[in-house]
Each structure stands twice: as C-alpha cells, then as structure tokens.
Structure 1
Amino acid sequence: METEGQPDLLETQPLQEADEEMATDVDIPILSEEEKEELSAEVVKLEDEISTLRQVLADKEKRLMDIKHKLGVNVMNELKQNFSKSWYDVQTHSAYKKTQETLSHAGQKATAAISTVGSVIGKKLGDMRNTPTFKSFEERVESTVTTLKTKVGGPSNVGGSFEEVLNSTAHASAQSSSVAGTELPEDEEAIQC
C-alpha cells in the first residue's frame, strides 16, 4: 500500500526519537501497580454502588406510583396541580404584576383615545353637513326626487323629509303600475314600500 515517498500508515514502526518526546510532553501520571489495583477496585466498588442506588430508586418510584394510585392521584390530576401552582407562581411574580398594570393603563389610554376619535369624527360629520358642498349635494338630491315625483305623477305638494319623498315615490310607482292593468302582488308592494 506504500506509494512512492509515503509510508504505509497502518504499518507498525518503532517509535522514533521525536515521537518519544511528544509522548512524554503529555502529562500522563505514571502509576505503580499498587495504585492501579486500588483505583480498579474503587471503580468496581463505585459501579456496584451506582447499580444498587438505581435499583433502590426504581423500587421507591414504583412504591410512589402504587401509593398515588391508591389515593386516586393520576397523571392528569398531577398535571392540573402543577399547572395551577405554576400559574399561581406566575401571577404572584412582580414582573407579571407590572405587566398587568402596564397593560391595564394602556387599555385605559386606548379607550380614552377611541372615545376622543369618535367625538372628533361626529363633530367633523356635523361640520361637513353645514358645508356648501354638502348643501349643494342635498339640494341636487331633492331636486332629482322632485323631478322623479312629477314625472311619476305624484301629489302636487312636493316637500317633506327625504323618507317621505321616497315613500310617496314608491307609492306613486305602485299606483301607475296598477293603472296600467298589472297589479303587483302584495309581497312585491311591501318590498317596494
């Protein structure tokens, strides 16, 4: 597997002097045989203790589940209790209280602002109704209604409120269709009026 100029990496070669210096640079404690035996014995002892503790813990968890089952405590009840406790903790926390106060204050400010905007819009609409443009528009609508009323053949007294004019126009339209010999059913008359 050797190519020209490159040694085989899997080939075992004796350590060179430079390799020995690199290996001694790493701080690996040199232990005596007695220390190695003591540490090995301690590792075995610790592994046994961990295994015993795991068994004891498993037995205690099983006992706990049995007791909870006898008491009627199930996973859902525990979740509810944990959630209730967590929610209570959140509500009693100072950050939550400050946030709640801030949002309440912001809500009050927003309500006041909306009320003010509503008042301003109402005032502006009232002011707009008094403008010459709106009055001109209102006059044009009235004259159009009057023209329609005279063409349809309604009563000679043209005037009154906009609603009265519309009702009389609809009534006149219904009369003209009945004069022509086509009476509208009562439902259609009700729709038109």
Structure 2
Amino acid sequence: METRQQGFLDSEPLREADEDYVSEVNLNNSIMTEEEREEIHQELAKLEEEISTLRQVLASKEKQQADLRQKLGISPLSELRNNFSRGWHDMQTSTAFKKTSETLSTAGQKTTAAFSTLGSAITRKFGDMRNSPSFKSFEEKVESTVTTIKTKVGTSETRGSFEDVLSSAANASSQDTPTNDLTDDPDRPC
C-alpha cells in the first residue's frame, strides 16, 4: 500500500474512501425537518412582533413620563441640579470625606503652629544677634566709619545713631540730584 502525506495542497485526487468520509460530515450538526423549520420561523415571527409591541409601549410610557415632568415643572436642567446637589450632600456626609476633612484641618492647625513657632524663633534669634557682642562691635565700627566720613565731608554733626546717618545720607543724595531743565542752561544748544 502506498503511504500518502497529508497536506494543504495534495496533488492526488480524492479516492472513493475520502468521498464517503466527506459525505458523512454534516455542516449543520443536526438534520432539521421541514416541520421543525416552519415551527422555528413562526416562533421567530412571534418574538419579532412582541419586540415591536414592547417598543411601542415603551415609547408611549416615555411620552407619558415627559408630559408628567412638564406639568410638574421638572426640566432636565433642574433635574441635573438636584442630582448634583444630592451627590454633593452624599459626598459631604460620607465617612471618607469626614476623615479627609478632619485630617486636613489637623494638618492646617499643625502647620500654623509650626510657622508661628518658626516666626518667634527667628525673632528671638534676631534679638539675640542684635544683642551679641559681635553685632555691637560691627555697629560701633559702622558708626565710627560714618562719623569719619561726615567729618571729612564737612558735616558739623559728628556723632549720631545709625538710623540718623542713613536718613541724612538719603537727604544729602536727594539734594545733590541735578535737574534736567534745559531752559536754565543758556550755553546748551536747543
């Protein structure tokens, strides 16, 4: 007997045994009689008619609902607003929202306390720094330098506080600022 390889593109023609095998295969998996076929068609027609009836009833009920809503003054916008309000209320009364709110409140209080403590600590440090011997030494050096500069510039006031020196320097610089009035200079071309 001859062995044959099975493949997609067999070059040999089908033999009688192969034809018998193919004829035994039923593609519908069940053989249906004409009566069964007619029965199924009737059932299908009945289902399609019921679906059509249900669609008509649903459309009628939806129209009735719309009419009742209109009589009550319920518009889609007011309904949306009510749904939003109800949802917001439900969210605010939820356990998760309450816990989150409490946590954020506590965090805010702790942050405020921390900034307050930090501010007072910085104020205290600046006070300590201003009272420190090195700052006082620096302040004395600045005052003596300012006094020396005043003496050389010709100011009659030889001793003053740091703030006085700063304000007098500011006054002096504002008085020394030249004006740009062109009419005062006759030699300047127009």
TM-score by length of 2: 0.66
SS in 2 for 1:159: coil
Counterpart in the other structure of 2:127: 126
What's the % identity of the aligned pairs? 56
1:70 aligns with 2:67: no
CA distance in 1, matches of 2:167, 2:85: 64
Say whether the 8 Å CA contact 2:92–2:98 is kept in structure 1.
Answer: yes
* Structure 2 counterpart of 1:163: 163
Distance across 2 between alignment mates of 1:19 and 1:104:
80
The equivalent of 1:189 in structure 2 is: none
Say yes or no: does 1:90 pair with 2:94: no
The correspondence of residues 31-180 of structure 1 with structure 2, limited to 5 A, is 31-160=32-161, 162-172=162-172
For the residue of structure 2 that corresponds to 1:155, the secondary structure is coil
> Does structure 2 retain, via aligned residues, the 8 Å contact 1:159–1:165?
yes
The AA in structure 2 aligned to 1:76 is L
- For residues 28 and 141 of structure 2, the distance between their equivalents in structure 1, rounded to whole angstroms, comes to 104
1:61: how far off? 1.8
Question: Greater shift after overlay, 59-68 or 28-37?
Answer: 28-37
CA contact (8 A) 1:154 1:169 kept: no
Structure with bigger RCO (C-alpha 8 Å, 6+ apart): 1
Q: Report SS of the residue matched to 2:91.
A: helix
**CA distance 1:33–1:88, change in 2 (3 Å):** farther
Report how far residue 145 of structure 1 moved: 2.4
How many residues align? The count is 168
Which sections of structure 2, spanning at least 5 residues, go unmatched?
1-7, 11-17, 180-190
- Where structure 1 has 5 or more consecutive residues not aligned to the other structure, the ranges are 8-14, 184-193
Larger Rg: 2
1:17: Cα distance to partner?
A: 6.3
Q: AA paired with 1:84?
A: S
Indicate conservation of the 8 Å contact 1:91/1:97, yes or no.
yes
| Cα distance in 2 for residues equivalent to 1:75 and 1:156 | 84
Does structure 2 retain, via aligned residues, the 8 Å contact 1:152–1:169?
Answer: no
CA distance in 2, matches of 1:84, 1:169: 65
1:106 deviation in Å? 1.7
Most deviating of 41-50 and 27-36 = 27-36
CA contact (8 A) 1:154 1:168 kept: no
Separation in 1 of the partners of 2:154 and 2:20? 126
Residues 56 and 116 (structure 1), Cα distance of their counterparts in 2 relative to 1, 3 Å cut: same
**For 1:16 and 1:144, how far apart are their aligned partners in 2?**
122
Change (3 A) 1:142 1:46: farther
